[in-house]
Structures are given as C-alpha cells and as structure tokens.
C-alpha cells in the first residue's frame, strides 16, 4: 500500500498526464474542425447552382498549341499591359513560351507572366494551359509563382497544379463563349478557386493597342474571398485586352 506522500505524488502525476492528454486531444479536434470547415466551404461553393466544376476531357484530345477566338496559345505570342493599381504604375507582360510542361498526364504550354510595380519586379508566374482540339476550349492546369521584393523571392503564394492535393484543371476560356456561362477556372481546394461568369459578348473597348468590338466580358470571383469581383475583357483574335485596371498597350509575335 502507498503511503500518504506517495499517494499524493501519484495523484499529481496522474492529473498532469490527464491534463496533457486533454490538451493534445483538444488541439487535434480543433485541427480536424478547421480542416472540415475548409472542406465544407469548398464543397458548398462548388455546389452553388449554375457553376460548371467538372471537366473530363480525354487526355489524347489535348494540344498545347493553337488558338480559339479569345485565347492564343501559340509560342512567341506576347501581350503587354499598363495601368495603375493603388495609385502605383503597373506593367504586366504575358508571353507564350516555347516551353511545355507535363502536368497531370498532359503536356501543357507554359505561359509566363512578368509583373512590375514602379519598375520593380513584383511577380513572375509560369502558367500551364492546354486546348481541347474538338471544342477549342482552353483549360488551366495550374501555375508556379515567385513573389519578389527588393529583387529577392519572398514566397510562392497561389501556386498549384492539377493532380496534386486534390486539385483539378479548370476552364480558362470556352471555345465558343456564351452569355451567362459560369465555370471554374481553378479547382485547388483551399488554395485557388477562381471562377468566371460571362456577363457580356458585345462590349466595345478602346485601348492604346487599338479599338475592339464584340468583346467578351467576364466577372471573376472566388469563394475563398467573397465579395471581391474582378472584371476582364477579351477581344476576338487577340485575347485579354483589359485586366482590372490594366489595359493592353501592344501585342503580337515578339519571340522567335
């Protein structure tokens, strides 16, 4: 039989162990709750009426070059945009590279985006696209992002790839856009869930690069940041001509 002192020591040790186990269990339950909440948010967002979130194109039907009416996927094609964001001059250069990359079993085309603010490098991203040869639909397979500050990489926010951690490619641009069409462009739960709704197919727009008519206007949203829509404009035979506050200043085949 334990004496009084040993009994007290045993009880104190037991209570300490019980407290430790209770804390560990509480943390584990909280972690599960957070994960479940995020999964629930993503699932609820994808179940909203009208949004197309399932794309199942045969891998043999993809090509990494070509063009549809509003999206150019030809190596050497380049577009330059300028404007102000938060009062600061921004410049964005989008280039279709000769490079390809295998993503989720598909050889995709690499499109590089190079963005500066006040002349200082902000971001370089490598985006992966492929086109359905039958429909002209262009699909988005993910991106690798490098964020910069003072010339140094500071992070990779927004990076994702189809086939990794439950992510799936989304629709970047329909081959034949229709008014009211709603589709997910990115399907990376908890990371990237951009979606677009076509709100006009008859817009006209004047930019430093020219005047365009019958443009497709999209409203982009994400369930990860509710209430923050962005608008883009696409011209036939050219592609993206307005991206938020940035407008097209020049475009064409600039790389051999």
pLDDT in tens, 87-99: 999 999 999 999 9
pTM for the structure as a whole: 0.80
Q: Which domains does the chain have, with CATH numbers?
A: 59-253 (2.40.360)
Q: What is the pLDDT of residue 125?
A: 98
Report how far residue 137's alpha carbon sits from residue 112's, in angstroms, rounded to the nearest whole number: 20
Rounded to whole angstroms, the Cα distance separating 131 from 140 reads: 9
The pLDDT tens digits of the residues spanning 165-191 come to 999 999 999 999 999 999 999 999 988
Radius of gyration of the chain (CA): 24
Q: What does the pLDDT read at residue 11? A: 45
pLDDT beyond 60 at 27: no
Phi-psi region of 36 (alpha: psi -120 to 50; beta: other; left: phi over 0): alpha
- What pLDDT is attached to residue 15? 60
pLDDT beyond 50 at 29: no
Give the separation between CA 168 and CA 159, rounded to whole angstroms: 13
pLDDT tens by residue, 103-126: 999 999 999 999 999 999 999 999
Confidence of residue 204 (pLDDT cuts 50, 70, 90): very high
Structure tokens at 203: 């817009």
pLDDT score for 2: 41
Mean pLDDT for 73-85 is 96
């Amino acid at each position: 039989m334990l004496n009084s002192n040993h009994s007290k020591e045993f009880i104190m040790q037991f209570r300490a162990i019980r407290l430790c186990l209770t804390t560990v269990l509480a943390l584990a339950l909280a972690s599960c709750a957070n994960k479940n909440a995020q999964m629930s948010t993503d699932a609820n967002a994808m179940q909203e009426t009208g949004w197309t979130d399932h794309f199942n194109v045969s891998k043999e039907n993809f090509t990494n070059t070509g063009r549809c009416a509003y999206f150019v996927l030809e190596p050497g094609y380049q577009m330059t945009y300028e404007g102000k964001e938060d009062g600061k001059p921004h410049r964005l250069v989008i280039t279709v590279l000769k490079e390809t990359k295998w993503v989720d079993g598909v050889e995709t085309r690499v499109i590089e985006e190079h963005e500066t603010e006040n002349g200082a490098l902000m971001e370089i991203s490598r985006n992966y696209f492929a086109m359905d040869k039958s429909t002209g639909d262009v699909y988005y397979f993910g991106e690798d992002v490098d964020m910069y500050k003072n010339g140094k990489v500071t992070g990779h926010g927004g990076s994702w790839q189809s086939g990794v951690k439950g992510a799936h490619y989304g629709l970047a641009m329909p081959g034949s856009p229709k008014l009211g069409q709603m589709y997910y462009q990115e399907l990376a739960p908890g990371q990237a869930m951009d979606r677009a709704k076509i709100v006009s197919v008859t817009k006209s727009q004047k930019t430093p690069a020219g005047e365009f008519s019958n443009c497709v206007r999209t409203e982009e949203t994400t369930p990860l940041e509710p209430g923050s829509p962005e608008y883009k404009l696409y011209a036939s035979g050219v592609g993206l001509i307005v991206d938020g506050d940035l407008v097209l200043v020049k475009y064409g085949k600039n790389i051999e």
